[in-house]
A and B are shown apart, each in its own frame.
Chain A
Amino acid sequence: MENRNLTEVLVGLFVTAGFIALFFLAMNVSNLRESSVPDGYTLLARFANIGGLKTRSPITISGVKVGRVSTISLDQDSYNALVTLKINPGVCIPDETIASILTSGLLGEQYIGLEPGGMDECLENQDEIELTQSAIILEKLISKFLFNKADSNAK
């Protein structure tokens, strides 16, 4: 009888250890804690080129993270990229804000940096950020530089 009880206790411990491991992985290792923050509101932005931006890329104001990219799709009318931005609740994005796609470091991940505009009223859910700046494509930059150089040499 005592032996069987010990077995049952050990099985219980085993399953509990599994739950503790799941809890540890969920809370400390994965982003569950972050994504359990109540959803904020969404804003839209159109970019001519998003470069390497992905869903779940961060959105920052002066380097502080205020949200994440939730979806990226193609706008069939203008052939621009339509990006939905999920902004944390309580963060006020003023009108006339500029959204630009930036790169962290030389080869790092791309993210959206917001430069707040000077207006007083905040953008509301499903509003669109009108002023956007596309990603800088390194190849285009280099080729532009080379052509300029060639032009100035020819003169």
Chain B
Amino acid sequence: MINLIQALGDSTLSRLSTLGRACLLLINLLTAIGSVLYRFRLLVAQLYSVGVLTFLIVVVSGFFIGMVLGLQGYTTLSDFGAESALGQMVGTSLVRELGPVMAALLFAGRAGSALTAEIGLMKATEQLSGMEMMAVDPIKRIIAPRFWAGFISMPVLALLLSAAGILGGYLVGVEMLGVDNGIFWSRMQSTIDFKADLMNGVIKSIVFGFVVTWIAVFEGYDAIPTSEGVGRATTRTVVYSAFAILGMDFVLTALMFGDL
């Protein structure tokens, strides 16, 4: 019995200290913005590996998501003779929800896991402690540029996914299934508000980018420096990111669009 209570207390304490370390790392990352801007080259290099390399998967997936939305939306809407609302449906669901959420999930899988593995391996091969020995702050030199690169790339990727999805929906709905071109765009324009829909989607994607890269760099930085530890940290990054994205999405949607 005593052992059970002891184990419970131990795991609670270790979880609390993990959370504490994550928050301390976040504070260090946020205050490192000056040195990130000072070493702009490092940020650009990370923007390439975090953003540009995720570009293709995001655009292609967005295109297919939009095509599926167009196809499924059309079959249901045409039952009610409301095919004209297809543009509205495709546009709203992409700009409000699917754009930010799908981009963030893909980003966590493609870039987040790579970040964790990279940083974790640097720790396992003692590159990070090596830097500390040379009086180079690994947080400023290695981790902060990656964090800020993720933070910047995420809204760009979400916008690209929405745009590609709408083009995919247009291709299926208008070009293949024969919804009227003018009605498709005009219904979309009359429902989607620049501030209430598009900008809220961008805010969502900024929040997701922040959370996902924070989880990714922290898991890497905090990984047990063995090959098994790095592997586990990478898994945790993807799982925690997926949870965080979907959970935050509900909260943000309720705040922005719902009347809860």
Contact = CB atoms under 8 A, between A and B. Distances in A.
Contacts of B163: 20-21, 24-25
Contacts of B157: 18
Nearest to B43: A11
Interface string B39-54: 0010011011001100
Nearest to B166: A29
Contact of A26 (B41, B91, B194): B194
A27 to B, nearest CB: 9
A120 interface: no
Contacts of A11: 44, 47-48, 51-52
A138 B79 CA distance: 24
Contacts, number: 75
A29 B189 contact: yes
A49 to B, nearest CB: 21
A153 B95 CA distance: 56
Nearest to B49: A7
A8 interface: yes
Contact of A21 (B52, B159, B188): B159
Nearest to B202: A22
B156 interface: yes
A29 B47 contact: no
A41 to B, nearest CB: 22
A30 B51 contact: no
A2 interface: no
Residue among B153, B155, B163, B166 with most chain A CB within 10 A: B163
A14 interface: yes
A14 B55 CA distance: 8
A83 B197 CA distance: 24
B208 to A, nearest CB: 15
A149 interface: no
B55 A30 contact: no
Interface residues of B, number: 28
A31 B159 contact: no
B47 A30 contact: no
Contact of B44 (A8, A18, A31): A8
Nearest to B162: A25
B126 interface: no
Contacts of A8: 44
B18 to A, nearest CB: 33
Nearest to A22: B159
B44 A25 contact: no
B102 interface: no
A31 B190 contact: yes
Contacts of A1: none
B224 interface: no
A32 interface: yes
B242 interface: no
A28 interface: yes
Interface of A: 4, 7-8, 10-11, 13-15, 17-18, 20-22, 24-26, 28-35, 56
Interface of B: 41, 44-45, 47-48, 51-52, 55, 91, 95, 153, 155-157, 159-160, 162-163, 166, 185, 188-190, 192-194, 197-198
Given A11-B44, A18-B159, A31-B192, 9 more contacts: A4-B41, A14-B51, A17-B160, A18-B160, A20-B163, A25-B159, A25-B163, A25-B198, A35-B194
16 contacts: A7-B45, A10-B52, A11-B51, A13-B52, A14-B153, A15-B47, A15-B156, A25-B198, A29-B91, A29-B188, A30-B192, A30-B197, A31-B192, A34-B189, A35-B194, A56-B193
